[in-house]
C-alpha cells in the first residue's frame, strides 16, 4: 500500500453527498478571491466560481481561502477541484458515499476482539489471527486472571471484550464509552427509522444471520466482558468492577495477541469503572430487550448491583500513576459517571430512585458540553443525550431544558467551526491526545441537535466534521485508513505493524488515527514535530502513539457519525 503526497487544495478525499455541503479549503497567501473549477472525471468543467476569504486559521497558522460548490447537483466519481493552478485529490459525489465506511468503521471492533479467532472469511486473509488471551501458551490470560498483589486473593475469567487500542489491555472505562456509542448508534438509528442499515448481516461478524442487528452483536461482545469484570457476591467490594486488566509489563511492537507471554493482572476496582458498567448495562437492558430478554434482564441486574456498589464506595478513585504495562485511565472525578449511570438506569426503569439521583446531581444543570467535548473521563454528556432522546418521565419543563442544552451546545460547536479555515468543531486548545475522537464526539452532539430540531444546519455541521477527518484539514490528511489518497496507514498497533515487520498487515480500512496532539507525548512526535502548530502535530508513523494510535473510543464515535451520515 502507498499513499499519495498531500495536495494544497484540501477536500474530503472520499467525497461529498449530492444533497450535502461541499466545501474545500486552499492554503494561500492570497487575500483576494481566486477562481476555482470543479472538473469531472473526463476533465470537463462541471462548475466554477471564486473563493471567499477563510482568514488566518489559528490552529494551523495558515491563511486560507474557501471554495463552496454546495449548489452543484451532479453525481459521479473522479472529480477534482482546481484553485489557482493547484489541484485536489480526486473524490466522488454520490449518495452511497458512506456505505462502505459505515461497515468498515464498525467492523474495526470485530478485528479488535479478544478471545476469539479473527477469521479470514470475515476479515480477509491478511487480518486473520488465532484467538488471543484464552490461556493458551504462551498467553497467560484471560480465562483465569489473578489480581495484582493485595487487591484480591482469587482469579477471574475475564475473557473476551475488545483490545483497547494498539496495546492489548482491556479497560472498563474506555470499553464503557465505546460500547455505549455503538449501542447508542443503533438506538438513534432505530428512532430515525434507519435501523435496517445496522441490522442483521450488515457487518462482517461471526454472528451474521442470527436475526440480531450486527451492531448489537458487536456491542454485546464488549458488554459480556464488562459484566465479567464485576466482583461476585460474597467477595469484598461485591458489585464493583475492576478498573482494568492488562499485561504486567508493556510489550514491544510487534506482538501478536496470541504471542503475548506477559502475566495478566486485574487492577483495583474503581468507582468510575463500576459506574461505566452501571450505565452501559442499563442501556443494554433497554436496547437488547426486544432481541434477547434473558440477556437484557442479566444486564439490568448487573447495572443495579453496580449502582448500589458505587453508592457504597464512591471514593475508589483510579490514580493516574497506574500506568505500567497498560494505560492508567486515571479518573479522580466521578460525579459525571454517577450522573450518566443514573440517567441510563432512569431511562430504562423509570424508577423514582434513579430519577431522584438524576435531578439531585449537579451535573443535571451544569454545562456538560465543554469545548473539549465529552470523553472517557468526562461522561455526563452521555447521560444528558440519553435524557434528551429516550422517552422518560422528567417534567416537561425539565425535559425542554435538557433538550435545549444539547441544541445550544451544538450551536457552540457550529460557531467554533465557522471561525476557522477548516470547519472543525475544536478550539485551538483542543488538539489533545485523541483529538480526532473529540471531533467525532462533538460532531455527534451536532447530529443529535439535528434529530431534536430537524434544522438542516446541524446535518451540515456533522457532515463537515467528517470532511475534516477525511482530508479537509491543514495536513490534507485523511485520518481513516483506506478512505482517500493521502491517508493514515501506519497507526500504532502491535499486530497491524507492517512498518516494523513486512509480514504483518497495515491497519484495515476504517481504522481511525488519534490525530493531532500538540502536547507531543511520544519520542517520535518529539523528534519529528517540534514546534508544530496544534493542528499540524500529527505524523503517520507507527512509533507516534500519542498522535497515531487507534482506539476503540475513537472508532466508536467515527462509526456513530458515519452511520448518521450514511442515512438516506
Ligand atoms: O486516550 C487516552 C488519553 O486520553 C490519555 O491522555 C493517554 C495518556 O494516559 O492515554 C490514552 O489512552 C491510551 C491508553 O492509555 C493505553 N491504550 C492506548 C490508548 C490510546 O492511545
452 lines ligand 1 (CB under 6 A): no
Task: Using the mean position of ligand 1's atoms as its centre, give its distance from the Cα of residue 29 in Å.
Answer: 37
What's the confidence (pLDDT) of residue 2? 63
433 lines ligand 1 (CB under 6 A): yes
- Could you read off the pLDDT of 406-458 as tens digits, one per residue? 999 999 999 999 999 999 999 999 999 999 999 999 999 999 999 999 999 99
Q: Residue 159 CA to chain centroid, in angstroms? A: 23
- Could you read off the pLDDT of 190-227 as tens digits, one per residue? 999 999 999 999 999 999 999 999 999 999 999 999 99
- Could you read off the pLDDT of 536-564 as tens digits, one per residue? 999 999 999 999 999 999 999 999 999 99
Tell me the pairing of strands 15-16 and 91-93. Answer: parallel
Task: Using the mean position of ligand 1's atoms as its centre, give its distance from the Cα of residue 377 in Å.
Answer: 11
DSSP code string of 441-490? HHHHHHHHHHHHH--HHHHHHHHHHHHHHBT-STT--B-BTTSSSSB---
- Could you read off the pLDDT of 40-50 as tens digits, one per residue? 999 999 999 99
State yes or no: pLDDT of 383 exceeds 70.
yes
**What three-state secondary structure class fits 351?**
coil
Please return the burial class of 229, using the count of CB atoms within 10 Å of its CB with bins 0-12, 13-18 and 19+: buried
The secondary structure of residue 29, as a DSSP letter, is S
Nearest to 108 by CA among 123, 95, 97, 119: 123
Q: Is residue 222 annotated as a catalytic residue, yes or no?
A: no
- Could you read off the pLDDT of 4-45 as tens digits, one per residue? 777 789 999 999 999 999 999 999 888 899 999 999 999 999
Query: Cell digits for 247?
Result: 499485561
167 lines ligand 1 (CB under 6 A): yes
Which CATH class, in words, describes the domain spanning 141-394?
Answer: mainly alpha
CA-nearest residue for atom 5, ligand 1, is: 433
The secondary structure of residue 151, as a DSSP letter, is T
Region 326-341: what's the mean pLDDT?
Answer: 98
Q: Is residue 540 annotated as a catalytic residue, yes or no?
A: yes
458 lines ligand 1 (CB under 6 A): no
What ipTM was predicted for this assembly? 0.99
165 lines ligand 1 (CB under 6 A): yes
Catalytic residue among 57, 62, 331, 549: 549
Q: Where are the chain's structural domains?
A: 141-394
Region 105-132: what's the mean pLDDT?
Answer: 98
What's the confidence (pLDDT) of residue 57? 85
- Which atom of ligand 1 approaches the CA of 437 most closely? 1
- Could you read off the pLDDT of 365-379 as tens digits, one per residue? 999 999 999 999 999
Q: For the chain, what is the mean pLDDT?
A: 97
177 lines ligand 1 (CB under 6 A): no
Task: Using the mean position of ligand 1's atoms as its centre, give its distance from the Cα of residue 58 in Å.
Answer: 26
Q: What is d(CA 539, CA 533) in angstroms, rounded to the nearest whole number?
A: 13
With beta carbons less than 8 A apart as the criterion, state whether 394 and 387 touch. Answer: yes
- Could you read off the pLDDT of 147-188 as tens digits, one per residue? 999 999 999 999 999 999 999 999 999 999 999 999 999 999
Burial 174-200 (b: 16+ CB within 10 A, else e): bbbbbbbbbbbbbbbbbeeebeebbbb
CA-nearest residue for atom 3, ligand 1, is: 433
The secondary structure of residue 551, as a DSSP letter, is B
Could you give the residue ranges of the DSSP H alpha helices within 230-375? 271-287, 293-312, 335-349, 352-360
State yes or no: pLDDT of 189 exceeds 80.
yes
DSSP code string of 63-95? EEEEEE-TT----EEEEEEEETTEEPPPEEE-T
- Could you read off the pLDDT of 48-59 as tens digits, one per residue? 999 999 878 889
What's the confidence (pLDDT) of residue 29? 87
Task: Using the mean position of ligand 1's atoms as its centre, give its distance from the Cα of residue 435 in Å.
Answer: 11
Region 109-130: what's the mean pLDDT?
Answer: 98
The residues pairing with 492 across neighbouring beta strands, listed in sequence order, are 549
HEC letters along 395-453 = CHHHHHHHHHHHHHHHHHHHHHHHCCCCCCCCCHHHCCCCHHHHHHHHHHHHHHHHHHH
DSSP code string of 169-231? -EEHHHHHHHHHHHHHHHHHHHHTT-GGGGSTTSSSSTTTTSSS-HHHHHHHHHHHHHHHTBP
Task: Using the mean position of ligand 1's atoms as its centre, give its distance from the Cα of residue 194 in Å.
Answer: 33
What's the confidence (pLDDT) of residue 1? 52
Nearest to 205 by CA among 162, 265, 159, 142: 162
Amino acid at each position: 500500500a502507498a499513499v499519495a503526497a498531500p495536495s494544497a487544495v484540501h477536500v474530503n478525499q472520499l467525497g461529498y453527498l449530492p444533497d450535502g455541503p461541499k466545501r474545500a479549503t486552499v492554503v494561500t497567501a492570497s487575500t483576494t478571491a481566486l477562481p476555482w473549477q470543479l472538473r469531472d472525471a473526463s476533465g470537463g468543467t462541471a462548475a466554477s466560481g471564486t473563493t471567499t476569504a477563510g482568514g488566518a486559521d489559528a490552529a494551523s497558522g495558515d491563511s486560507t481561502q474557501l471554495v463552496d460548490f454546495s449548489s452543484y447537483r451532479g453525481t459521479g466519481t473522479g472529480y477534482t477541484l482546481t484553485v489557482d493552478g493547484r489541484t485536489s485529490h480526486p473524490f466522488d459525489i454520490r449518495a452511497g458515499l458512506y456505505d462502505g465506511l459505515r461497515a468498515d468503521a464498525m467492523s474495526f471492533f470485530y478485528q479488535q476482539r479478544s478471545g476469539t479467532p479473527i477469521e479470514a472469511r470475515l476479515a480477509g486473509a491478511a487480518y486473520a489471527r488465532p484467538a488471543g488471551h484464552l490461556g493458551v501458551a504462551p498467553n497467560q490470560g484471560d480465562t483465569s486472571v489473578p489480581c495484582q498483589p493485595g487487591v484480591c486473593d482469587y482469579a477471574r475469567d475475564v475473557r473476551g471484550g475488545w483490545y483497547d487500542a494498539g496495546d492489548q489491555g482491556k479497560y472498563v472505562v474506555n470499553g464503557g464509552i465505546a460500547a455505549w456509542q455503538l449501542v447508542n448508534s443503533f438506538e438513534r438509528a432505530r428512532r430515525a427509522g434507519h435501523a435496517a442499515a445496522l441490522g442483521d448481516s450488515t457487518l462482517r461478524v461471526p454472528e451474521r444471520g442470527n436475526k440480531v442487528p450486527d451492531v448489537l452483536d458487536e456491542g454485546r461482545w464488549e458488554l459480556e466482558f464488562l459484566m465479567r469484570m464485576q466482583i461476585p457476591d460474597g467477595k469484598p467490594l461485591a458489585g464493583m468492577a475492576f478498573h482494568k486488566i492488562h499485561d504486567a509489563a508493556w510489550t514491544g511492537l510487534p506482538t501478536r495477541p496470541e504471542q503475548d507471554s506477559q502475566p495478566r493482572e486485574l487492577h483495583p476496582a474503581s468507582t468510575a469503572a463500576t459506574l461505566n458498567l452501571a450505565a452501559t448495562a442499563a442501556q443494554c437492558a433497554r436496547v437488547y430487550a426486544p432481541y434477547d430478554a434473558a440477556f437484557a434482564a442479566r444486564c439490568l441486574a448487573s447495572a443495579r448491583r453496580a449502582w448500589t456498589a458505587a453508592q457504597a464506595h464512591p471514593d475508589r478513585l483510579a490514580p493516574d500513576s497506574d500506568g505500567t504495562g497498560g494505560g492508567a485511565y486515571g479518573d479522580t472525578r466521578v460525579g459525571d459517571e454517577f450522573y450518566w449511570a443514573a440517567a441510563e438506569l432512569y431511562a430504562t426503569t423509570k424508577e423514582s430512585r434513579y430519577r431522584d439521583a438524576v435531578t439531585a446531581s449537579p451535573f443535571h444543570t451544569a454545562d456538560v458540553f465543554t469545548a473539549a467535548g465529552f470523553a472517557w473521563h468526562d461522561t455526563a454528556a452521555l447521560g444528558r443525550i440519553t435524557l434528551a432522546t429516550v422517552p422518560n418521565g422528567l417534567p416537561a419543563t425539565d425535559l425542554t431544558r435538557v433538550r435545549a442544552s444539547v441544541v445550544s451546545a451544538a450551536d457552540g460547536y457550529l460557531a467554533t467551526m465557522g471561525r476557522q479555515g477548516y470547519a472543525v468543531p475544536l478550539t485551538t486548545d483542543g488538539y489533545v491526545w485523541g483529538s480526532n475522537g473529540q471531533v467525532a464526539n462533538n460532531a455527534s452532539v451536532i447530529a443529535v441537535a439535528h434529530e431534536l430540531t430537524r434544522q438542516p444546519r446541524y446535518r451540515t455541521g456533522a457532515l463537515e466534521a467528517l470532511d475534516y477527518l477525511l482530508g479537509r484539514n491543514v495536513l490534507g490528511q485523511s485520518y481513516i485508513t483506506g478512505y482517500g489518497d493521502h491517508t493514515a496507514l501506519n497507526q500504532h498497533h502491535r499486530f497491524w505493524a507492517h512498518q516494523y515487520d513486512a509480514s504483518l498487515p497495515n491497519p484495515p480500512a476504517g481504522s481511525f488515527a488519534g490525530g493531532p496532539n500538540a502536547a507531543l507525548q511520544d519520542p517520535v512526535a518529539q523528534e519529528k514535530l517540534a514546534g508544530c502548530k496544534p493542528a499540524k502535530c500529527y505524523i503517520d508513523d507507527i512509533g507516534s502513539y500519542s498522535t497515531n494510535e487507534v482506539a476503540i473510543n475513537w472508532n466508536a464515535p467515527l462509526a456513530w457519525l458515519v452511520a448518521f451520515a450514511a442515512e438516506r
